[in-house]
Amino acid sequence: MILVTGAAGQLGTAVINQLLTKISAGQIIAMVRSEEKGKSLKAKGIEIRIGDYADKASIEKAVQGITKLLLISGSSDDAFTEHKNVIDSAKDAGVSQIYYTSGARNEDVTESKLGPLTEAYSTTENYIITSGLSYTIFQNGLYAETLPFFIGYDVVNTGISFPAGDGEASFAKREEMGKAIANVLANDGHQNKIYKLTGILSYSFSEIAKLLSEFSGKKVAYQSPEPKDYEIKLKEYGVSEIDVWYSSLLASIIRNDEYNVVSPDLEELLGHRATDLEIYLEDTFIN
């Protein structure tokens, strides 16, 4: 029996949809934070268990009878303590293998702008590795799907204004990360392995603008404003406080090269080529 946490989220949904193409709904249990969030999963014949990483008692109940557990990382200020609740409960309940979606990290970067979250990724990984449980860790790169959120869909006409400087990052489709994770979950093995689910090339935003110019036949300019000016502009456009914070944070981690990580692991787990960023850009911003 496979328990997928974060099952109502975007990555959890991608994993479950792919799992359903490989195993029956009866072999999957979805952990969600409320009955409401589990409605559509239930409609697919999947058992729902309610659990919150911060509420250990709820997790202890949710993990009963589970053999494989996919822990999709949370992003609260105390993510490590929350993850620890899940790992400890899994161990106590006799789960045979834990799978954790962590974050890719450029090891050459000594000071992370992502701060506590980066720390939660590595602390959780180390806790899992020394827990005695069999494990598989996925160090996920940036989702390509986050790009339109940061630069807008109309960049071919507006140009790109994003304070990422000359930083480079690799991007991969969340849907394909979900498929790779489902491939691993649906089969045995992969014990004590760490996979980097990233693209195979990194790109700067100048390169992204150049590609969009080529594809559209229009000059797409890239400018990297001062972060403070960028935040002021977003607020003037009516962007919410939280989205301003998130966009600025993402720009700063890209500027810092933190997601400049590439690996063939995603393609190997998929068993086919992953969608190149170039194709993603063309499909998303041109067609």
Ligand X SMILES: NC(=O)c1ccc[n+]([C@@H]2O[C@H](COP(=O)([O-])OP(=O)(O)OC[C@H]3O[C@@H](n4cnc5c(N)ncnc54)[C@H](OP(=O)(O)O)[C@@H]3O)[C@@H](O)[C@H]2O)c1
Nearest residue to the partner ligand X, using Cβ: 9
Closer to ligand X by Cβ: residue 118 or 156? 118
Cβ 176 to ligand X shortest distance, Å: 12
Any bridge partners for residue 274, and if so which?
A: none
Q: Which residues bind ligand X (CB under 6 A)?
A: 5-6, 8-12, 33, 37, 52-54, 72-75, 82, 140, 142-143, 146
Closer to ligand X by Cβ: residue 159 or 252? 252
Cβ 236 to ligand X shortest distance, Å: 25
Cβ 175 to ligand X shortest distance, Å: 11
Cβ 30 to ligand X shortest distance, Å: 10
Closer to ligand X by Cβ: residue 4 or 209? 4
Per-residue HEC secondary structure of the chain comes to CEEECCCCCHHHHHHHHHHCCCCCHHHEEEEECCHHHHHHHHHCCCEEEECCCCCHHHHHHHCCCCCEEEEECCCCCCHHHHHHHHHHHHHHCCCCEEEEEEECCCCCCCCCCCCHHHHHHHHHHHHHHCCCCEEEEEEECEEHHHHHHHHCCCHHHHCEECCCCCCEECEECHHHHHHHHHHHHHCCCCCCEEEEECCCCCEEHHHHHHHHHHHHCCCCCEECCCHHHHHHHHHHCCCCHHHHHHHHHHHHHHHCCCCCCCCCHHHHHHCCCCCCHHHHHHHHHHC
**Sequence-ordered list of residues with C-beta below 8 angstroms from that of 236, at least 6 positions apart, any chain:** none
Closer to ligand X by Cβ: residue 73 or 256? 73
Closer to ligand X by Cβ: residue 52 or 231? 52
Closer to ligand X by Cβ: residue 73 or 260? 73
Cβ 219 to ligand X shortest distance, Å: 29
Closer to ligand X by Cβ: residue 121 or 285? 121
Cβ 134 to ligand X shortest distance, Å: 22
User: Token pair 């834990």 is at which residue?
Assistant: 98
Cβ 165 to ligand X shortest distance, Å: 19
